[in-house]
Chains A and B, each alone.
Chain A
Amino acid sequence: MESGGNLYQPQRQSSWAIVLILLKYIRIIARQMWPILLIVLIKPTEGRGLIITAIALGIAILAMIYSIVAYTRYYYFVKNNELCVRSGVFRKLVLNVPFERIQSVDFKQNIVHQFLNVVSVQVDTAGSRGSELEIDAISLTQAEALRNLVLSYKKSHATEIAASGAQEAFETETEESPELILALSSSDLMKVGISANHLRTAAIIFAFFVGLADDVEQLLGWDVWGQLDDSTMAASVLGLIVVLSAIPLLLFVSFFITLIRTVLRYYNLKFWRDGKSYKVVSGLFTRNEKSIQKSKIQIIRWVTSPLKKMFGIFQMNIYQATSINQTRDKSLIIPGCYAQQVQHTLDTIVPAFKGATFTAHKMHPAIVVLVVSLVGFLPAVGFGFMAWFNDSIVQWLLVLIFPLSIWMGILYQRKRRFKIHPDFILSEGGIFGNTNRLIEIYKVQAVTIHSSPMQRRRGVSSLHIHTAGGEMAFAYIQTRVANQARDYILYRVETEKRSWM
C-alpha cells in the first residue's frame, strides 16, 4: 500500500499532462479542419492569409488556456474501493468507478509520453452502460500503484467468491512467475508485415483519394474527376493501360504502407501470461500495453491466410467482454504465432479443448446462391449499367466480380463449418485462408434463429450465438440442428453455476 499511499488524496496528473492535453486538442482540431488548412497552404490569397493566421493563433491560445484549466480542474483519487475522477472546465464532472466494475487497466505511451517519462492510463469498465475513463499523463510508478491496487482488490474479492468452490482460483494462485509465450523476433515481424492484408490498405488508400478528390473539388473548384475523365476515361484503351499500371502501383504502395504500419505497431511485441491474465506489449514509437483477465475472455480466434500459411504463422485475437461495441479495439492481437504457440495459448485458456471431439455441420450448398447474388450478381448488374451508360471499357472490368463471386462462394461453402462439443462451439471458415473462432458454451448471452422463405423451403435456418465479446453466425444450417443447438445451449447456460466473467 505504501507505494500508492497518496492515491487516496485527490491529486492532479503529472504537470506534463498540460502538454499532452494540449497536443490532444490540437490533434482533434487539426483532424476537423485539415481540408481548410490544405487550402490555406495551396491557395494563399493575400490579405486573407493574415486573417486566417490570426484565427489560427486565436484558436491555439484558446486551446492552451483550455488545456491549463482542464489540467488544474482534473483530480483523481481512490476512495472506498472506487476510482474517482473530478474534472470539467465548464460543467463539473464527477465519475466514480467501483473497482469490481473495472475490466482492465491499460497503459499507453506515445513518443511524447516516452520522452516525458509518463504514461496514459485507460480504464475500461464493462457491463451495462459502461463508460471509459482516461488519465492523460501520470508517472509510471503512480500508474502501476493504481493498477496493483485494482488487481489486488479484485484478487481478494475473487478468492472470497471462490472460497466455497475451491476450484481453479487456487490452483494457479501459487504466485507463478510471468510466462513469456511469444516474443516477436524481427524476422517474424517481417513475415507478419509481408503477409498482412494489403488489399485492405489498398482499399483505404483508394477511398482516401476518392474522398480527397471530392474535398478538393468542393473547396477549390478543381474538377478532379473531370480531369481524370478527360485524360483517361475518354480514350478507353489508353485508360485501360493507365488503370492496369495503376493497380500494381497501388498494390506496391499499399504493401509498403502495411509493412511500415506493422513494424510501428508490433515492433518488439511480447505476449505474456501472468498468473490469471494475458498481456501484450508492443510498438515502436507508441508502446501499447493491453491485458485481459482470463475469466473475461469470451472468444478466441486464430486466422491464417495463404501468405501466412506459407510462413506457417497465425494471427490470434482474444476478445473480452466489452461495454459498448468496441470488440476490435479491446481485443488482444497477437500476430505471428506459430501453430505451437496457438496450441499452447489454447491449452492454458481452455485446457479441455485439446483432444475434444467435435461434431461438424456443413452449410447447405444454397448458401452459394445467397453469397453470389449479394456480393456478385447485384453489384455486377449495377456496374454493368454504369459501364453501359458511360460506354467505358475500364468499367466493364468491374463486372468480373460476378464470376469471381461464384468461385469465392463455392470456396466459402466448402470450408464453413459449425462444430459443436458439449462444452465448446467452434466456427470454421474462410475463403482463401482459414478463420477459427472458439467459444465456451456457458458464456453465451443469447441465441437467435432467423429464417427467410428461401431458407424454410430448404429446411435450413441461420443460427446466431451472442457472447459478450461478439457474435457468431451460422447461416444455412439444418433447422433441426439449429433448434437442437439452441435448446442445448440454453440448457447449458441455465444450469451453469459458474459466472460468465
Chain B
Amino acid sequence: MMKPTENLFENPQIDLSSLPAVEQMTMMPLEPVYKKVRIIVASLIAIVLIVVSWTFAWWQAPYLTYIHVPAILVTLLAIWIVAYNGISFHYMFYAVREKDISYQSGWLWKSMTTIPYNRVQHCDIREGLIDRQFGLAKLTIYTAGGQSADLMIPGLLPETAEKLKSYILDATEHSIETES
C-alpha cells in the first residue's frame, strides 16, 4: 500500500535532517479551565440545535411522517459537537521557538500552523464574555497572508498572553532591524 518514502529534494544542497524540525518541539498545553469553557460554549450551541430541531419536529408532526428522524440526527450531531470539543482540548498545544511560533489543534482533524516572527504584522489579545468569567484570554497573531494564515491561541491566562505578545513583537522588531 505505502510507496517508498520520498525525500523533499532529490538532490539537496543542505542536510535536511539538520534543519530544526517542528515536530520535535516542546508543546505547551492550554489552561485546564479552558476545557470547561469549550464544553460550555459547545453545549450552548448544542442546546439551540436541539431545541430548534425538536420544536420544528413537533410543529410539523401532524403533516410529515418521519419528521423526528432528522431531529434525532441533529440531536446526535449536537452531542457529538460537545464531546468533540471536550476531547479535542487535549490535543491543543502551542510551541514557541527562537524564530517562530506554532499552534496545533484538532483530535481527528489535526492542523498545525507555524508563523515566523519576521512575518508577523501585529498581535491582539481578546477576552470573550465567557472567557472573562474564567479569567482567560486569546492571543491572535496576524500576518499579511490573510485570514487563513492567522494564528489564534485560545485558553491562555491574560498574563501569559501579554508575555507572549510582547515577546513576539520584540522578536518581530528585532528581525526587521537586522533585515534592513
Contacts and interface: CB of A to CB of B under 8 A. Distances in A.
Contacts of B144: 126-128, 321, 445, 468, 500-501
Nearest to A448: B113
Contacts of A420: 8-9
Given A466-B146, A480-B6, A493-B119, A446 B151 contact: yes
Interface string B90-129: 0000000001100000001111111111110110000000
Given A467-B145, A487-B19, A497-B179, A446 B119 contact: yes
B21 interface: yes
Interface in A452-492: 452-453, 456, 458-459, 464, 466-468, 470-471, 478, 480-481, 483-488, 490-491
A494 B149 CA distance: 17
Contacts of A240: none
B21 A487 contact: yes
Q: Top 8 nearest A-B pairs by Cβ distance?
A: A445-B145, A466-B145, A466-B149, A468-B144, A484-B8, A446-B149, A445-B143, A494-B99
A131 interface: no
16 contacts: A127-B121, A128-B121, A321-B144, A325-B147, A359-B8, A451-B110, A458-B2, A466-B149, A468-B145, A471-B146, A478-B6, A481-B6, A481-B8, A483-B22, A490-B20, A493-B118
Contacts of B145: 445-446, 466-468, 471
A450 B111 contact: yes
A498 interface: yes
Point out which of A446, A447, A478 has the most chain B C-beta atoms below 10 A from its C-beta: A446
B89 interface: no
B146 A494 contact: no
A401 B43 CA distance: 38
A420 B116 CA distance: 20
B65 interface: no
Given A325-B147, A468-B145, A490-B22, 20 more contacts: A128-B122, A359-B7, A359-B10, A446-B114, A446-B116, A446-B143, A446-B145, A447-B114, A448-B148, A449-B112, A451-B109, A452-B108, A478-B3, A483-B23, A484-B19, A486-B22, A488-B8, A494-B117, A498-B179, A499-B179
Interface of B: 1-3, 5-11, 13, 16, 19-23, 99-100, 108-119, 121-122, 142-149, 151, 178-180
A445 B6 contact: no
Given A459-B2, A484-B8, A448 B112 contact: yes
A361 interface: yes
A141 to B, nearest CB: 34
Contacts of A488: 8, 16, 19
B9 A359 contact: yes
Contact of A452 (B3, B109, B122, B178): B109
Contact of A483 (B13, B21, B121, B122): B21
B148 A478 contact: no
Contacts of B7: 359, 481, 484
A422 interface: yes
Contacts of A451: 109-111
Contacts of A480: 5-6
Residue of A422, A451, A490, A500 most packed against chain B (CB within 10 A): A490
A484 B16 CA distance: 7
B178 A494 contact: no
Given A325-B146, A447-B114, A480-B6, A422 B13 contact: yes
A130 B145 CA distance: 13
A161 interface: yes
A444 B109 CA distance: 24
B100 A494 contact: yes
A234 B9 CA distance: 61
